Amino acid sequence: MARPRRRGSRDTTRSPQDRMRRAFARRQRARRWLTWRYVLAAVLLVGAVCFGVYAVYFSSWLRAEGVQVVGNAQLSEKQVLATADVPLGGPLASVDLRAVEVRLKSLATVRSVDVSRTWPHDVRIEIVERTPVAVLDRGDRLTNLDASGVAFGRLAKAPAGLPRVKVGPGADEDALAEGAAVVVALDPAVAELVDFVEVRTVDEIDLHLRDGRLVRWGSAEQAEDKARVILELLNVDAKVYDVSVPGAPTTR
């Protein structure tokens, strides 16, 4: 009577050829499964990409529905939204943020702007406005003037606390920038005495004081030195003060 083969022991009754065929078949099945696993992974990846494209660009799940505006104080939200002209209702991903920025930078009051997406439905507009340091008086109109000499924002009347800047016919953008630099350099105690700053050219800038005295400033070069000198020189009884050369100021 044949002894039963123990569980787990090698089947010595099969021929070597039979064992080789079975091993080959197992290897073939393993290779087929590996191939199908890669195919399945590829199919799932393509499906995920297609679903993502559909969700972002074609579905209503991620459409542009609103605009957030922050940082505006001089500009109204209505002005910002009208200029930005953000297209709503379509995919948020397709909104041209660069084009929105370019439109907003056309506003002179805007010094810089950052436009971004706030998923899932909003566009965020963050504005940095120009800060006025003076009022530019062109005779027929008043505008703000920032520290770099850029005029912006039409004014009905000059606000209190800001010096006026008047320009002559020969004053260009560079001269206006020089005038703004002079205003920034003034000590507050001197600025309170100034009726207006007259800018004729880049090298001809005068301060007209409220009491009728005149300060010949010259160019904006060495503005801090000139500001320090005139602060002390105004104690001298005179009508005209010349600090165009701060190392050798004169009065008359």
Sequential pLDDT tens for the chain (252 residues) = 445 555 544 555 667 777 777 766 677 676 766 777 777 777 777 777 766 665 556 667 889 999 999 999 999 999 999 999 999 999 998 999 999 999 999 999 999 999 999 999 999 999 999 999 999 998 889 999 999 999 998 899 988 889 999 998 878 899 999 999 999 999 999 999 999 999 999 999 999 999 999 999 999 999 999 999 999 999 999 999 999 999 999 999
- Rounded to two decimals, what is the model's pTM? 0.72
Whether the CB-CB separation of 195 and 208 falls below 8 Å is answered with yes
Strands 194-201 and 66-70: unpaired
Instruction: Give me the count of residues in the chain.
Output: 252
**How far apart are alpha carbons 182 and 177 in whole angstroms?**
9
HSE, side-chain direction, 13 A CA sphere, residue 193? 17
Can you identify the CATH homologous superfamily of domain 66-129? membrane protein fhac (3.10.20.310)
Q: Which amino acid is at 105?
A: K
**How far apart are alpha carbons 44 and 36 in whole angstroms?**
12
Helices 173-185 and 223-233 meet at what angle, rounded to 10? Answer: 50
CA distances from 48 to 40, 54, 92, 119, 120 (A): 12, 10, 20, 20, 19
Highest CATH level, class, for 132-251: alpha beta
